[in-house]
Amino acid sequence: MDLTKFSFTTSGKKKKKTKDEEESKEKKKKEYELKRQRTYLPSWEEEFLGLKYAAHTDDDGKVVESKPKTMMCQTCKDYPDLADRNCSMFIGTSAFRKDTLIADWKSNLHRKCEEKKKKPDEMKKLEAPGSGSFSQSGPLLSCVRKMEKKMKTK
């Protein structure tokens, strides 16, 4: 059998794009992004706990109609001493992009706010009457209170 009779074509190979094709594709993408109307998706609130969507209010609490509604991280707002005050999710942003949410939720400062948010809940469980073997005047609870006092005085 003579293998020279078989010919192989290059039709299976991908055609290289020219610079013009790449530039036109990038141009179309930029035009699309400029025209695109981004909106807030309520389903984000289920995925990102602590996300709030609200209208701008003035000092009197009245809604300012001229400004667009914004989304913000309520968890970070609750703990401004730990949060990044320059972050768009702390201030409030009308750039409704999921990337913005992901970046905030993955940040170390947001995680610290989440940890602090969970700690008071854990203390309430300990102090709740009838919560297992702990009571309001139990030895474990009194030790915890002493430790808290020491931490506050330092």
Q: What is the pLDDT of residues 4-61, one digit of tens each?
A: 666 555 555 566 678 788 888 888 888 887 777 788 888 998 999 889 988 766 777 6
Q: Is 5 among the domain residues? A: no
Q: Is 11 among the domain residues? A: no
pLDDT number for residue 117: 87
Q: Is 131 among the domain residues? A: no
Question: pLDDT over 90 for what percent of the chain?
Answer: 13
Tell which wins on pLDDT, 141 or 75: 75
- Measured distance CA(7)–CA(26) in Å, rounded: 38
Q: Is 152 among the domain residues? A: no
pLDDT number for residue 134: 45
Q: Is 85 among the domain residues? A: yes
pLDDT number for residue 21: 83
Instruction: Please classify residue 41 by burial: count the beta carbons closer than 10 Å to its beta carbon, then call 0-12 exposed, 13-18 middle and 19+ buried.
Output: middle
Q: Is 20 among the domain residues? A: no
| Full residue range of the structural domain in which residue 76 is found | 44-118
- 3 state SS of 74: helix
Residue 125, pLDDT above cutoff 60: no
Q: Is 106 among the domain residues? A: yes
**Chain Cα centroid distance, residue 118:** 17
- Name which of 78, 71, 69 is nearest 45 in CA terms: 71
**Residue range 95-113: mean pLDDT, rounded:** 90
For 53, 96, 115, 132, the CA distances from 44, given in Å and listed in that order, are 10, 10, 21, 36
pLDDT number for residue 60: 74
pLDDT number for residue 148: 87
Give the predicted TM-score (pTM) of the model: 0.52
Q: Which of 18-27, 41-50, 62-71, 124-133 is modeled with the greatest confidence?
A: 41-50
Q: Is 83 among the domain residues? A: yes
Model confidence at 133, in pLDDT bands (50, 70, 90)?
Answer: very low
Tell which wins on pLDDT, 131 or 50: 50
pLDDT number for residue 135: 46
- The number of distinct structural domains making up the chain is 1
Tell which wins on pLDDT, 138 or 130: 138
